[in-house]
Structure 1
Amino acid sequence: MTRVYKMPVLTAFYNYGHIRMEVSNEELLISWKEFFSKGTNWKDIDPGMNYEEYCQISDQEHLKKIWSMPIYYLLKSGKGFLLKKDSETLMLREEMREVIKNPAFAEQMGDVIEYRMTDYYWRRYREKCDIDKPKIMV
């Protein structure tokens, strides 16, 4: 799984520009499934898995992966912006409450998420098409 797995967690907070202070397991799961159901994104969950196997993943298994991968690393590397409220809720630190009300912040957050997603798709495309690798001419 690539680092893109953090994007569904961040988009759960972003909530289409209506930034949330906290997200529940249900909101995380919706965002996660929405992201990984697009195109072939599901392949990044487990490179050895086929589509039928992806479709058989239970919500509990998805949540286990969400909490053990992206949330774990976001909490570890997020410099305290994200906090675990309880076993089913992730939240922004209280100091962010006023900041998230600023439309400019929401716009910037949306731009960053969009950039990261575009970069993700571009990298996948380059790898698939073998772009940027030197061609040996004989």
Structure 2
Amino acid sequence: MKKALLFSTLLFVSAACSRNNDVAPTLASEVAGTYLTNGFLDILCIALPANQMPAVTLTPETEAAVTLTYLRQYPTAQSQTLTHLQLTRLADKSIQLTQQGQVLGTVQTDRAFNTNGMERQALVLRVQTNANPQTAITFTGAKE
């Protein structure tokens, strides 16, 4: 009986003192990925065919910074890259993207729609830059 009690105590102590190998996700790894849009998510894209929809890719730089790559297909193929976007979690659990103190957008779990109109829950990225009209980005898309 003493051996069983001693063994169970040893097992309990070793389990309680073991290192926790769980890795908490960083803000950058949480939002990293490709975001696609369609006419249901972004009214500005309603007239575009599926193969000409814009897309955004967020690539982690550090734990709290990402690079945003915006790929536009229409009217001409064009790619824009914004680097060193800082990520901040807000009180409503959304993640805010800022660059040099200017808020560029948010990422949050929200309703999203597939290309066929089916509703689902997904991470939704909303970006609005107020640069000159030639390089301004307006995008709403859901994570793939």
Higher relative contact order structure (alpha carbons within 8 Å, sequence separation ≥ 6): 1
Fold in common (TM above 0.5): no
Q: TM-score range by the shorter chain?
A: under 0.3
Higher strand proportion, which one?
Answer: 2
Provide the TM-score with structure 2 as the length reference. Answer: 0.22
